[in-house]
Amino acid sequence: MSDSPLFYQIGPALPEVSHADGVMIWDTQGKDYLDGCSGAISCNLGHGRQDIRDAMLAQMDKVAFTYRTQFENAPALALGHQLVELFDAELGKVFFISSGSEAVESALKLARQYFVARGQPQRQRFISLRPSYHGSTMGALGMTGYQPLEAPFTSMTHASIKVSGPDFYRHQDSDDDAHVDRVLAETRAAMEAAEPESLIGFVLEPIGGASTGARLLGKRYLQGIRTLCDEFGCLLIADEVLTGVGRTGTWFACQHYQLVPDILVTAKGLGAGYYPIGVMLARNHIVESVMASGGFQHGHTYAGNPLACATGLAVIKAIQRDNLLENTRQRGEQLEAGLRALADRYDWIGHVRGAGLLWGVELVADSASRCPFPAEQNRFAQITALAKQEGLLIYPRRTLDGIAGDHFLVCPPLTIQANEIETLLERLERAMARFEQALSTPAAARTIV
């Protein structure tokens, strides 16, 4: 057992980081790694930015922390106004927190308190998708549909009603529209079976994240869920912890589909890896009802502190100033083309999907049947280890509810340039060539990780 006092998830020993700059990270042995997944899809501006450092230091020279019930602060006000503007003022109220899990927890509690304030305390249930990921705290975990994460805590969580979303890769309906219509009909049936008057809201990621490998849901489905929520009188909560703040080429993934939720949460990219910050945006009438009934019974110590908000404000200004939404779209097209070229070369790449600089690559044992590799082979971990050996960081997970299937995410910083995309693809190609060889030599495959 390691002498380190730290413990995270089990796995091989990790290199010790030395320093980072732009899209590159170096370990203490001098090896460089291209950050092809922005850490945990969070370092959206890359590493070592002087402008973010300057904004943080300038705020620290004034005041780093004040508590939200004692003082208002200019960075929080400015960032709040900016976020409302980015969603075209349709979500007019802002509540800051420090992480994605906290953001989801906040949304669940606001939605529940809204219905209590309206005299509907019988509304106690949420609906979410399986698979999905909404966070690791207990309330957010109850929304999550990913069996290995849920299993130890199922007796302790207040689980949502889980329904299937569309799967445009594996469905066997006559066409995509028929598939969406069937999925929506099944969702309606599940909502009716749960008693409509018991429903608080539907929680979903507009574009899938780690749990599905950037699975797209599409406008027809998302607008259909919006219609169902309106019909059943419940709220639509968009989890954009991963997709928000430019990751998919728009400020929020909802904007690709002209989808306006009742509550939206985001985190990761808002602090861009420089300081923890998350946010919940909500429609005015929801917040007004809650505040009129005695206030929102919720909060965290670091919520809305000046240093966090100054960081978030600097991140948004950098995205605007450097035209990074356009760069995300252009470099995303380049990355997509490269990934699809690799898929044409290797039969075990079953599906490439995504938007902007959020791309998922699903691996299969048989491309014709789309059958996944046996779970015990851990192919997602093997290809990630090979990529790391080649100096490329990617983000692996299991595709099918966390118990089967293999995929990895390729999500470099929004600042990545064309030549750096080429380097990313070259390193990934070398890893894939080694993975191809390992598939034909099982003994070698067992020694990869």
DSSP per-residue codes, 160-196: PEEE----TTT--SSSHHHHHHHHHHHHHHHHHHT-G
Q: How many beta carbons lie within 10 A of that of residue 119, not counting itself? A: 8
Q: How many beta carbons lie within 10 A of that of residue 155, not counting itself? A: 5
pLDDT at 446 over 60: no
Q: Report the C-alpha gap between 254 and 199 in whole angstroms.
A: 22
Residue 2 has what pLDDT? 61
Q: Report the C-alpha gap between 321 and 301 in whole angstroms.
A: 32
Please say whether the beta carbons of 241 and 164 come within 8 A.
no
Residue 447 has what pLDDT? 55
Nearest in space to 213 (alpha carbons), one of 28, 350, 342: 350
pLDDT in tens, 272-303: 999 999 999 999 999 999 999 999 999 999 99
8: confidence class by pLDDT, cuts 50, 70, 90: confident
Please say whether the beta carbons of 48 and 272 come within 8 A.
no
DSSP-derived secondary structure letter, 276: -
pLDDT at 442 over 70: no
Percentage of residues of the chain with pLDDT beyond 90: 93
Helix (H, G, I), strand (E, B) or coil at 280: strand
Q: What is the mean pLDDT of residues 370-383?
A: 96
Cis-peptide, bond into residue 12, ω within 30° of zero? no
pLDDT in tens, 383-405: 999 999 999 999 999 999 999 99
322: confidence class by pLDDT, cuts 50, 70, 90: very high
Please say whether the beta carbons of 362 and 351 come within 8 A.
yes
Asked whether the CA dihedral 24, 26, 30, 33 is positive or negative, the reply is negative
Structure tokens at 50: 């002087």
Nearest in space to 349 (alpha carbons), one of 332, 366, 369: 366
Instruction: Sketch the domain layout of the chain as residue ranges.
Output: 17-48+323-446, 53-321
Q: Report the C-alpha gap between 373 and 219 in whole angstroms.
A: 31
Q: 263 pairs with which residues across the strands?
A: 237, 282
Nearest in space to 166 (alpha carbons), one of 176, 155, 154: 176
* Amino acid identity, position 420: E
Which range, of 2-6, 64-68, 264-268, 328-332, averages the lowest pLDDT?
2-6
Task: Check if CATH label 3.40.640.10 holds for domain 53-321.
Answer: yes
pLDDT in tens, 165-222: 999 999 999 999 999 999 999 999 999 999 999 999 999 999 999 999 999 999 999 9
444: confidence class by pLDDT, cuts 50, 70, 90: low
Residue 6 has what pLDDT? 79
Q: What is the mean pLDDT of residues 374-383?
A: 96
Q: Report the C-alpha gap between 275 and 271 in whole angstroms.
A: 5
Rg of the chain (C-alpha set):
22
pLDDT in tens, 100-122: 999 999 999 999 999 999 999 99
Please say whether the beta carbons of 25 and 43 come within 8 A.
no
| Mean pLDDT taken over the chain | 95
CATH class of the domain comprising 17-48+323-446: alpha beta
Residue 448 has what pLDDT? 57
Q: Report the C-alpha gap between 176 and 222 in whole angstroms.
A: 14
pLDDT in tens, 126-154: 999 999 999 999 999 999 999 999 999 99
pLDDT in tens, 35-82: 999 999 999 999 999 999 999 999 999 999 999 899 999 999 999 999
pLDDT at 85 over 60: yes
pLDDT at 337 over 80: yes
